[in-house]
C-alpha cells in the first residue's frame, strides 16, 4: 500500500488513455501506463497488480470470473473505464473488500449518437451502399433497387430506459418516432416524454418497428432478445444494439436476418467481441461497428478523468462518486 500521507498511490493502467488523462495520472499517482497499448492478459494484470494499490482497467480487458479472487492484497480499488461493469463481479469485489467504480453519465450522448447511427445505417443500407460506391457498382442502382427502409415516423421500442435509453428516445423524437419502452420500472414522465411503458417486454415487441437494446448486461437480461422475442417483432423490424452483445442471442438474430423476418440489424457490440460470429460478416443486411459507442476524444477523455476523480476521492478517504460496491 502507498505509505500513508507520503507516497502517491500506485495505479496500474491496463490500456493507453487519452494524453490529458495520462498526464493527470502521471502527475497525481505513481502510474504504470501502457503507452504502446500492448494488450495485457489476465495473468499479466495479476502479476503487475502486486506492485500497485489500484487498477484502472477497461471493459475490453479479458478478465474472467477468476480475476478478482486472484488479485493480490495490495489492490484496494478498481476503476473501470466504462459505464458497463459486467466484466467485473461486484459481489466478489465486496467479498475481497475492493472498491469498484465506473463512469456513468459522460458517455451517454456519444453512445446514443451511435444508436441513431445504427438505426439509420441499418435501415438505409449504409454498409451495402458504401460498398457499392467503393466497388464501382453505382451503375446497378435503379429507381426500385436497392432500397432501404424509413426511420422517420416509425415506432421505436427501447429495452432499458436509463440515461442512454432516454438519450436515444430524445434523438428519435426528432425523427418523429413514437417511443415505447420496457424497463423493470417506468421512469418519471419527464424523463421519457410521451413514451409508452410496457411492463412486459413481450407486450412491447408487436408494437414497434425498431428495437434498440440499451439495458445493462445482467443475469436477468443476458439472452433476453432471443428467438421468442424476435418472433414477436413484426416482420421487417430492425434491431440495434449498443449495450452488450450477450443480451441478444446470435443464433436467433442470424436466423431472423437470413429469413427476412428482421429486415436489418445494426450492431456495435457482440458476444465474445472482438471475435464475432463469422456469419455476421456475410449478411448483407447488417451494419457492423467495432464497439465505438464511447469512441470520441471528448468522451474518452471525460471517462478517463471520471476514473481519476473516483481514484482520488477513494485515496483521500472519501466515498467515490461512482462507487458500485457497498462502502
Ligand atoms: C461502456 O462504457 O460500458 C462502453 O460500452 C464501453 O465499454
Is 2 a residue whose pLDDT tops 70? no
Q: 148-187, pLDDT tens digit by residue? A: 999 999 999 999 999 999 999 999 999 999 999 999 999 9
Residue 25 is predicted with a pLDDT of 98
Catalytic residue among 22, 261, 271, 273: 273
Q: How far is the CA of 81 from the centre of ligand 1 (A)?
A: 8
- Angle of CA points 197, 256, 283, to nearest 5°: 120
User: What average pLDDT does the segment 100-123 reach?
Assistant: 98
Is 4 a residue whose pLDDT tops 60? no
Q: How far is the CA of 242 from the centre of ligand 1 (A)?
A: 9
**In the structure, what pLDDT confidence band is assigned to residue 62 with cuts at 50, 70 and 90?**
confident
Residue 3 is predicted with a pLDDT of 45
- Sign of the Cα pseudo-torsion (230, 131, 242, 238, in order): negative
3-state secondary structure of 35: coil
- Angle of CA points 78, 83, 89, to nearest 5°: 50
Residue 1 is predicted with a pLDDT of 45
Catalytic residue at 38? Answer: no
Closest ligand 1 atom number to CA of residue 82: 2
Written as nine digits, the cell of 130 is: 458504401
Does any ligand 1 atom lie closer than 6 A to the CB of residue 82? yes
Cβ-proximal residues to 284 (8 Å cutoff; 6+ apart), any chain: 128
Is 196 a residue whose pLDDT tops 60? yes
Mean pLDDT, rounded, of the chain: 97
What CA–CA distance (Å, rounded) separates 254 from 157? Answer: 20
Catalytic residue at 171? Answer: no
Written as nine digits, the cell of 122 is: 441499418
Residue 23 is predicted with a pLDDT of 98
Residue 5 is predicted with a pLDDT of 52
What CA–CA distance (Å, rounded) separates 37 from 107? Answer: 22
Residue 327 is predicted with a pLDDT of 74
Which residue of 57, 84, 109, 218 sits with most ligand 1 atoms within 8 Å of its CB, as the best mutation to test the pocket? 84
Written as nine digits, the cell of 116 is: 441513431
Catalytic residue among 244, 249, 300, 305: 244
Is 307 a residue whose pLDDT tops 80? yes
Q: How far is the CA of 294 from the centre of ligand 1 (A)?
A: 7
Catalytic residue at 190? Answer: no
User: What average pLDDT does the segment 3-17 reach?
Assistant: 85
What CA–CA distance (Å, rounded) separates 309 from 283? Answer: 43
Count of residues making up the chain: 327
**In the structure, what pLDDT confidence band is assigned to residue 200 with cuts at 50, 70 and 90?**
very high
User: What average pLDDT does the segment 76-87 reach?
Assistant: 98
Atom 6 of ligand 1, residue of closest alpha carbon: 82
Q: How far is the CA of 257 from the centre of ligand 1 (A)?
A: 26
Is 76 a residue whose pLDDT tops 70? yes
Share of the chain above pLDDT 90, in %: 97
Q: 226-250, pLDDT tens digit by residue? A: 999 999 999 999 999 999 999 999 9
What CA–CA distance (Å, rounded) separates 211 from 241? Answer: 8
Does any ligand 1 atom lie closer than 6 A to the CB of residue 107? yes
Q: 24-48, pLDDT tens digit by residue? A: 999 999 999 999 999 999 999 999 9
pTM for this prediction: 0.96
In order, the DSSP letters of 132-179 are HHHTT-GGG--SSSS-----TT-EEEEE--SHHHHHHHHHHHHTT-EE
Closest CA to 311 of 89, 55, 97, 19: 55
Does any ligand 1 atom lie closer than 6 A to the CB of residue 108? no
Amino acid at each position: 500500500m502507498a505509505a500513508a500521507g507520503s507516497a502517491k498511490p500506485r495505479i496500474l493502467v491496463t490500456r493507453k488513455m487519452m494524453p490529458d488523462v495520462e498526464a493527470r495520472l502521471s502527475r497525481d499517482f505513481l502510474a504504470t501506463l501502457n503507452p504502446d497499448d500492448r494488450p495485457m492478459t489476465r495473468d499479466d494484470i495479476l502479476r503487475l497488480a502486486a506492485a500497485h494499490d489500484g487498477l484502472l482497467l477497461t471493459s475490453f480487458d479479458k478478465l474472467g470470473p477468476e480475476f478478482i479472487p486472484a488479485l493480490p492484497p495490495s489492490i484496494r480499488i478498481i476503476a473501470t473505464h466504462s459505464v458497463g461493469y459486467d466484466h467485473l463481479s461486484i459481489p466478489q469485489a465486496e467479498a475481497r473488500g475492493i472498491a469498484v467504480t465506473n463512469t456513468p453519465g459522460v458517455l451517454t450522448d456519444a453512445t446514443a449518437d451511435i444508436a441513431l447511427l445504427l438505426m439509420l445505417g441499418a435501415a438505409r443500407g449504409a454498409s451495402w451502399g458504401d460498398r457499392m460506391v467503393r466497388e464501382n457498382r453505382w451503375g446497378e442502382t435503379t429507381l426500385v433497387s436497392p432500397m432501404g427502409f424509413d426511420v422517420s415516423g416509425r415506432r421505436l421500442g427501447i429495452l432499458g430506459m436509463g440515461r442512454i435509453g432516454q438519450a436515444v428516445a430524445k434523438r428519435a423524437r426528432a425523427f418523429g418516432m413514437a417511443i415505447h419502452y420496457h424497463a423493470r420500472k417506468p421512469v418519471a414522465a419527464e424523463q421519457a416524454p410521451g413514451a409508452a411503458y410496457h411492463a412486459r417486454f413481450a407486450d412491447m415487441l408487436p408494437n414497434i418497428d425498431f428495437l434498440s437494446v440499451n439495458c445493462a448486461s445482467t443475469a436477468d437480461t443476458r439472452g433476453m432478445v432471443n428467438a421468442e422475442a424476435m418472433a414477436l417483432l413484426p416482420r421487417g423490424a430492425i434491431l440495434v444494439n449498443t449495450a452488450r452483445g450477450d443480451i441478444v442471442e446470435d443464433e436467433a438474430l442470424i436466423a431472423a436476418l437470413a429469413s427476412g423476418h428482421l429486415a436489418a440489424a445494426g450492431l456495435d457490440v457482440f458476444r465474445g467481441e472482438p471475435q464475432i460470429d463469422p456469419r455476421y460478416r456475410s449478411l448483407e443486411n447488417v451494419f457492423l461497428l467495432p464497439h465505438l459507442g464511447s469512441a470520441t476524444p471528448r468522451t474518452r477523455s471525460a471517462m478517463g478523468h471520471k476514473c481519476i476523480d473516483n481514484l482520488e476521492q477513494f485515496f483521500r478517504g472519501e466515498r467515490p462518486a461512482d462507487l458500485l460496491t457497498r462502502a
